[in-house]
């Protein structure tokens, strides 16, 4: 593109007040846009072959504005390839597979030079491509280790790239070879754990084929640094390992995956973990009320220890939250590079609702209706609501109850003939509910009175339905 290179012009080279008076060609901005030649997936011959693109790096700062740099200067620059190499080990006599071609799915078209970053298209749907097939040939093709069988640009983990290996499979020499194609994901799993392998520049990936059938290809992948030749077996482990949770104050930790906290406190617990990639700690609320009650916050901090990939995720009450809902939450600790995830359930110790007759004019008619607390057993807490049937069905018979519950409250299971002015509340801890008899409703008690245990319903903690009071309703007749 550039056939005419023009040097930039400076006002006073070598002086402190020197400035650039005229940009050269190409400009620094132009340089930052340079990429490798971009692959076109529609061109069958558009594949990577040797010689391969390389970049150089020089660690010390080199100030090109210094006039002394105008003389010849010797520097030591390290060159590295900006592509990845795949070696394939296959013995067709053992695997019964004859590989004929290799390509790559979810690959990148190229990379930028400054810095080396995979190219992204303006249209996200065109960022990832399928490479054109490259013939699998060479002196050792299908006889052992074929080096340089395929080259690709770097592939970040998020791309979930994969090799495409095509060929012919025949279990016996008398069988007619059938065309086969396999997807080899850049993913390894050991003992049920693992993750995607990031395809990095200047690295070699050795794909060893261990078994094949018409539908599946078993492979092992090893990774080597292309420069020094020192290779290592890729044995993926769980990238994110959780330590023992440490509770603060009244927090109770159970089985290291459940924490019960007090909503009256602000400090809850810490999750120590190690991760060889960046991690995130997020919160998911499991009840519908959680969308408007984000009462928790998390914060990840590194543990200051040299050479350590240790972190702590602190879970505490959100500073800005002043509501009275505390729905169950799940803390998700996730590795951004892999698919590892750990979950810790968080419940607020909200308690059983307290129920009493309202302090002012609870009953209408006066003293006709009453509420009496019953059992105070931790497992079964009860109460009794006495409602009076009026001689005239048009006369209101109601009882106002004050329900006090940190976490809000709700009424569940009312009979059709017992109405409530509302069924839940959480604006404050203490909520007034007015219960009214509907003597014309279906299934209203008839016959002899009192109708003891005519119905039952529950008053639950809105943030924890297991914390509840079972109320028995007795209906009497007005004298």
Write out pLDDT tens, residues 188-236: 555 455 567 789 888 999 999 989 998 889 888 888 877 644 443 444 4
Percent of the chain with pLDDT over 90: 51
308 and 372 in a common domain: no
With helix as H, strand as E and coil as C, how does the chain read?
CCCCCECCEECCCCCCCCCEEECCECCHHHHHCCECCCCCCCCCCCCCCCCCCEEEECCCCCCCCCHHHHCCCCCCCEEEECCEEEEEEEEHHHHCEEEEEEEEECEECCEECCCCCECCCCCHHHCEECCCCEECCCCCCCEEEEEEEEEECCECHHHCCEEEEEEEECCCCCCCCEEEEEEEECEEEECCEEEECCECCCEEEEEEEEEECCCCEEEEEEEEECCCCCEECCCCCCCEEECCCEECCCCEEECCCEEEECCCCCEEEEEEEEECCCEEEEEEECCHHHHHCCCEEEEEEECCCCCCCEEEEEEEECCCCCCCCCCCEEEEEEECCCCCEEEEEEEECCCCCEEEECCCCCEECCCCCEEEEEEECCCCEEEEEEEEECCCCCCCCEEEEEEECCCCEEEECCCCCEEECCCEECCCCEEEEEEEECCCCCCCCCCCCCEEEEEEEEEEECCEEEEEEEEEEEEEECC
Query: 439: domain CATH number?
Result: 2.60.40.10
pLDDT at 88: 95
Q: Give per-residue pLDDT as tens, 128-187.
A: 999 999 999 989 999 999 999 999 999 888 888 899 999 999 888 778 889 999 999 887
Distance of CA 451 to the CA centre of its chain: 56
**Residue that has been written with the tokens 């749907």 in this structure:** 125
Q: What span, in angstroms and rounded, lies between the C-alpha atoms of 338 and 55?
A: 28
Q: What span, in angstroms and rounded, lies between the C-alpha atoms of 375 and 265?
A: 29
pTM of the model: 0.51
47 and 170 in a common domain: yes
Asked if residue 67 is part of any domain, the answer here is: no
Asked if residue 176 is part of any domain, the answer here is: yes
pLDDT at 197: 78
Q: Give per-residue pLDDT as tens, 441-476.
A: 989 998 888 999 999 999 999 999 999 999 999 999
pLDDT at 68: 56
Asked if residue 70 is part of any domain, the answer here is: no
End of a domain among 201, 232, 263? Answer: 232
304 and 431 in a common domain: no
204 and 99 in a common domain: yes
Q: Which of 157, 163, 100, 83 is nearest to 130 (CA)?
A: 163
Asked if residue 118 is part of any domain, the answer here is: yes
Q: What span, in angstroms and rounded, lies between the C-alpha atoms of 53 and 153?
A: 10
147 and 100 in a common domain: yes
Asked if residue 63 is part of any domain, the answer here is: no
End of a domain among 303, 320, 348? Answer: 348
**Residue that has been written with the tokens 């928790």 in this structure:** 296
Average the pLDDT over 73-94 and give the result.
85
460 and 332 in a common domain: no
Average the pLDDT over 47-52 and give the result.
87
Using CA atoms, how far residue 283 sits from 254, 264, 345, in Å, is: 19, 20, 10
Asked if residue 380 is part of any domain, the answer here is: yes
426 and 297 in a common domain: no
334 and 194 in a common domain: no
122 and 270 in a common domain: no
pLDDT of 12 higher than 90? no
**Residue that has been written with the tokens 């791309």 in this structure:** 159
pLDDT at 230: 43
Contacting residues for 245 by C-beta, under 8 A, at least 6 apart = 253, 256, 259, 269, 270, 271, 272, 344
Using CA atoms, how far residue 397 sits from 365, 432, 444, in Å, is: 6, 16, 14
End of a domain among 348, 366, 401? Answer: 348
Q: Give per-residue pLDDT as tens, 282-329.
A: 898 876 444 578 999 999 988 755 445 788 999 999 999 999 999 989
Order of strands across the sheet that contains 258-261: 252-254, 258-261, 341-348, 329-335, 279-285
Using CA atoms, how far residue 116 sits from 3, 51, 56, 456, in Å, is: 24, 18, 11, 70
Are 221 and 186 spatial neighbours (Cβ–Cβ below 8 Å)?
yes
pLDDT at 59: 73
Q: Which of 455, 460, 352 is nearest to 412 (CA)?
A: 460
Asked if residue 73 is part of any domain, the answer here is: no
pLDDT at 115: 81
pLDDT at 236: 45
Q: Give per-residue pLDDT as tens, 345-382.
A: 999 999 999 999 999 999 999 999 999 999 877 778 99
pLDDT at 291: 52
289 and 199 in a common domain: no
Tally of structural domains, the chain: 4
Residue with the bigger pLDDT between 39 and 61: it is 39
Q: What domain range is 6 assigned to?
A: 1-33
23 and 109 in a common domain: no
Give the range among 66-70, 110-114, 216-220, 419-423 with minimum mean pLDDT: 66-70
Asked if residue 201 is part of any domain, the answer here is: yes
pLDDT at 234: 41
Residue with the bigger pLDDT between 353 and 478: it is 353
Query: 153: domain CATH number?
Result: 2.60.40
393 and 329 in a common domain: no
Q: What is the mean pLDDT of the chain?
A: 86
Using CA atoms, how far residue 430 sits from 268, 348, 461, in Å, is: 25, 18, 12
């Amino acid at each position: 593109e550039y056939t005419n290179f023009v040097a930039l012009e400076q006002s006073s080279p070598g002086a402190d007040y020197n400035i650039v008076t005229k940009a050269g060609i190409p400009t620094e901005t132009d340089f930052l846009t340079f990429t490798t030649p971009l692959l076109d997936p529609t061109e069958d011959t558009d594949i990577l072959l040797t010689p391969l693109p390389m970049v150089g790096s020089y660690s010390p700062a080199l100030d090109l504005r210094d006039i002394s740099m105008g003389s010849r200067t010797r520097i030591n620059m390290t060159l590295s390839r900006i592509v990845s190499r795949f070696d394939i080990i296959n013995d067709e006599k053992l695997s019964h597979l004859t590989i004929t071609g290799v390509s790559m799915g979810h690959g990148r078209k190229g990379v930028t030079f400054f810095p080396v970053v995979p190219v992204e298209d303006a249209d996200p749907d065109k960022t990832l491509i399928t490479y054109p097939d490259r013939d699998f040939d060479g002196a050792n093709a299908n006889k052992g280790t074929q080096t340089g069988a395929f080259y690709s640009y770097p592939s970040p983990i998020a791309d979930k790239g994969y090799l495409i290996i095509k060929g012919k499979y025949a279990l016996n020499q008398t069988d007619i070879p059938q065309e086969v194609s396999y997807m080899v994901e850049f993913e390894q799993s050991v003992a049920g754990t693992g993750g995607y392998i990031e395809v990095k520049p200047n690295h070699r990936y050795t794909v060893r084929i261990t078994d094949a059938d018409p539908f599946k290809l078993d492979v092992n992948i090893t990774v080597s640094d292309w420069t020094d030749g020192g290779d290592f077996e890729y044995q993926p482990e769980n990238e994110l390992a959780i330590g023992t949770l440490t509770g603060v104050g009244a927090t109770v930790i159970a089985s290291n995956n459940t924490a019960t906290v007090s909503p009256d406190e602000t400090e809850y617990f810490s999750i120590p973990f190690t991760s060889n990639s960046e991690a995130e700690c997020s919160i998911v609320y499991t009840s519908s009320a959680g969308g408007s009650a984000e009462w928790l916050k998390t914060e990840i901090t590194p543990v200051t220890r040299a050479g350590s990939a240790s972190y702590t995720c602190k879970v505490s009450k959100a500073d800005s939250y002043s509501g009275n809902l505390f729905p169950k939450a799940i803390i998700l600790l996730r590795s951004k590079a892999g698919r590892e995830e750990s979950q810790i359930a968080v419940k607020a110790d909200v308690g059983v609702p307290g129920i009493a007759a309202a302090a002012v004019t609870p009953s209408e008619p006066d003293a006709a209706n009453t509420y009496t607390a019953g059992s105070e057993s931790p497992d079964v807490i009860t109460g009794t609501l006495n409602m009076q049937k009026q001689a005239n069905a048009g006369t209101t018979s109601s009882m106002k109850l004050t329900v006090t519950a940190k976490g809000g409250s709700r009424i569940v299971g009312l009979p059709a003939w017992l109405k409530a002015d509302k069924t839940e509340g959480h604006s404050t801890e203490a909520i007034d509910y007015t219960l009214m008899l509907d003597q014309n409703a279906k299934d209203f008690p008839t016959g002899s009175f009192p109708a003891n245990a005519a119905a039952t319903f529950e008053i639950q903690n809105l943030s924890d339905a297991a914390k509840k009071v079972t109320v028995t309703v007795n209906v009497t007749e007005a004298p």
